[in-house]
Amino acid sequence: MKKIGFLSFGHWTPSSQSQVRSASEALLQSIDLAVAAEQLGADGAYFRVHHFARQLASPFPLLAAVGAKTSHIEIGTAVIDMRYENPLYMAEDAGAADIIAGGRLQLGISRGSPEQVIDGWRYFGYAPQEGKSDADMARHHAEVFLDTLRGEGFAQPNPRPMFPNPPGLLRLEPHSEGLRERIWWGAATNATSEWAAKLGMNLQSSTLKFDESGKPFHIQQAEQIRIYREAWKAAGHEREPRVSVSRSIFALVDDRDRAYFGRGNE
């Protein structure tokens, strides 16, 4: 293990027993948590993104705020559900947040985890093309997002613009150099880890990995990482890939924690 960080869901509930009773408290405490983690020497501050839930949902304002309050800790997501995303608008948001953070964003994206609502992405105005699945749509959005982050012009300029344009086709702004190499794919299967490697994305492997062989989880996860690294090498990428694994840890620090989450007198 070379680096360690935390991954927070940002849960909140208005219960009188909760220490996080509103979205405001969840967001502000998330910023404080990242600042404290940096002071303690942690390497990364990562946040989950869940829609239609009392959790963190819109990551880029939070990432930008954390970036403005910290100086060297990596800041990221695990993961942004690409079924819900406009990849071009997301590229603008990501570029702005990365610039504010001084190039420290590490964005985890994926098809997403089980949802709070049925086909929630439809409420956001998205639907798979005929004959395609929501997973296909997520991967397509991811591919467009990755292409946009290259910073190449693609839009035909208006011959009579409001403001002067640079020559040639226009790209989205702001463009943050290097962000394309700091995109991660949360892979639930061996096949999608291989696909991510071919596209030059880093790998996020978690406990949400599907059971594909009946073998113990740690064996399957190690196999997924091996398949990913082999696919990366075969693709001929020049840089070394990064791989993260996540585990759920309950930090029991007081009697209330032990009452809720402990096991007997342990």
Could you read off the pLDDT tens digit of each residue along the chain, which spans 266 residues? 689 999 999 999 999 989 999 999 999 999 999 999 999 999 999 999 999 999 999 999 999 999 999 999 999 999 999 999 999 999 999 999 999 999 999 999 999 888 899 999 999 999 999 999 999 999 999 999 999 999 999 999 999 999 999 999 999 999 999 999 999 999 999 999 999 999 999 999 988 888 899 999 999 999 999 999 999 999 999 999 999 999 888 889 898 888 888 876 66
Which residues have CB under 8 Å from 110's CB, separation 6+? 79, 80, 81, 82, 138, 185, 186, 187, 188, 204
Element (H, E) at 93: helix 87-100
Its domain, for residue 249, covers 7-156+172-261
Task: CATH number of the domain at 248, please.
Answer: 3.20.20.30
Residue 162 within a domain: no
Residue 219 within a domain: yes
Residue 166 within a domain: no
Which residues have CB under 8 Å from 27's CB, separation 6+? 10, 56, 62, 65
d(CA 199, CA 213) in angstroms, rounded, equals 25
- pTM (two decimals): 0.94
Residue 146 within a domain: yes
Buried b (16+ CB within 10 A) or exposed e, 106-129: bbbbbbbeebeeeebbeeeebebe
3-class state of residue 44 by DSSP: strand
Number of domains present in the structure of the chain: 1
Element (H, E) at 184: strand 183-186
